[in-house]
Amino acid sequence: MGRTLALFTRGLATLVSSGVPLARALEVMARTRVLPQEVADGLIGTLLRGHSLSEGFKAYPEYFPTAYVAAVRAAEGTGALVEVLLRLAEQTEKSAKLRQRLLSQLSYPTVLLLSCGLGLAVLVLGFMPMMLPMLETWDAPAPWLLVALTSLARSPAIWVMLGLGLVNLLFAVLLLQRRPALRAALERSLASWPLVGAVRLRLARLQALDTMILLQEAGVSARSCLLEAARGLSHPELAARLREADAALLEGVELTAALREARAFGPATLQLLLAGEASGRLARLMRCARKLEEDALEARIELLVTLSEPLVLSVMGLAVGLVTLITLMPMLTLLARL
């Protein structure tokens, strides 16, 4: 979805900045099929009925995030729609590229784990059951683990259990998509994992900074920036911290001081935000803070990948070594008899 939004925003921003009327620009984008036809038709219909573009975006939250809609709404109020669309295009493209980089970094250990698991399953459930008839023919003693694995592979119950496990997994994925409370509980559980939790927190901070930069440049107040950033997060803990900072703003506390009290960002990011407040260039220093958070996130991901590769290989090596030992033990017994 991130790349789709980036393509749509870049195309719309380019057309509008070239002087094409907004309704006409949406019609042109509808022909590109970047968005589903019903979504494009709905946006055009909203404009033709006299409503604003932000109201059209708001009707499709699965395609347009709350911060995106809020930035467009603010731009419509200030008359800076073209400038905000160009900034939105730049930001959505950066987010899509970052997501692609993270996925590419995580793809190797994932493929490694799946391929090793598949190879081990074929070895245990496919090759090892063939050994038992051979040993019986040679009147050689079979290790108990080989007998147990062979019985397990030949049992219909194991295949039924595997099938039920896959069905339950698919059901759990669908349930998580439809039940935000369950998804939030799972995310809280993941947040307690040392390295995974740190990566998720960095990613959420980056998302919050993206929202705050976008709205700050659109002329939105600091309070609205924090609230919209909190509303768009899938990290409950950071969202709660941003709401806590918003409550401090109501009491007259400065933005950086409120974020420091709520422990929403790290010291380096807070120092940049403080410098931005003091110099009157908050949006610019927010971009520097975003780059800092992005570098920290990629470092965490690299550490996670670096640690996962030897861990997966070690576990799979132990498993393959155990299977190989079980396979060789009867052969060594036969050779000893000769």
172 has pLDDT over 60: yes
**Torsions phi, psi for 170 (to 5 deg):** -65, -40
Between the ranges 81-85, 229-233, 289-293, 300-304, where is the mean pLDDT highest?
289-293
State mean pLDDT over 103-119: 75
Q: How far is CA 21 from CA 32, 89, 166, in A?
A: 17, 18, 51
Point out the least confidently predicted range of 47-56, 181-190, 321-330: 181-190
User: In the structure, what pLDDT confidence band is assigned to residue 184 with cuts at 50, 70 and 90?
Assistant: low
Q: Which of 266, 264, 320, 329 is nearest to 295 (CA)?
A: 266
Angle of CA points 176, 170, 109, to nearest 5°:
90
State mean pLDDT over 123-138: 71
* Calpha distance 37→45 (Å, rounded): 12
* Calpha distance 199→207 (Å, rounded): 12
Q: How far is CA 2 from the centre of its chain?
A: 11
* Calpha distance 197→176 (Å, rounded): 19
Which pLDDT does position 177 carry in this prediction? 64
**More confident of the two residues 295 and 116:** 295
% of the chain with per-residue pLDDT over 90: 5
* Calpha distance 75→86 (Å, rounded): 11
* Calpha distance 129→125 (Å, rounded): 7
pTM of the model: 0.66
Question: What pLDDT digit, counting tens, does each position of 289-298 carry?
Answer: 888 888 887 7
252 has pLDDT over 80: yes
**More confident of the two residues 209 and 151:** 209
User: In the structure, what pLDDT confidence band is assigned to residue 16 with cuts at 50, 70 and 90?
Assistant: confident
Point out the least confidently predicted range of 32-36, 103-107, 288-292, 315-319: 103-107
End-to-end CA distance of the chain: 67
% of the chain with per-residue pLDDT over 70: 85
* Calpha distance 297→196 (Å, rounded): 11
314 has pLDDT over 60: yes
Q: Which of 206, 186, 182, 7 is nearest to 88 (CA)?
A: 7
308 has pLDDT over 80: no
Helical packing angle, 255-262 and 236-250, nearest 10°: 140
% helix, strand, coil for the chain, step of 5: 85, 0, 15
Which pLDDT does position 260 carry in this prediction? 92
**More confident of the two residues 79 and 12:** 12
User: In the structure, what pLDDT confidence band is assigned to residue 188 with cuts at 50, 70 and 90?
Assistant: low
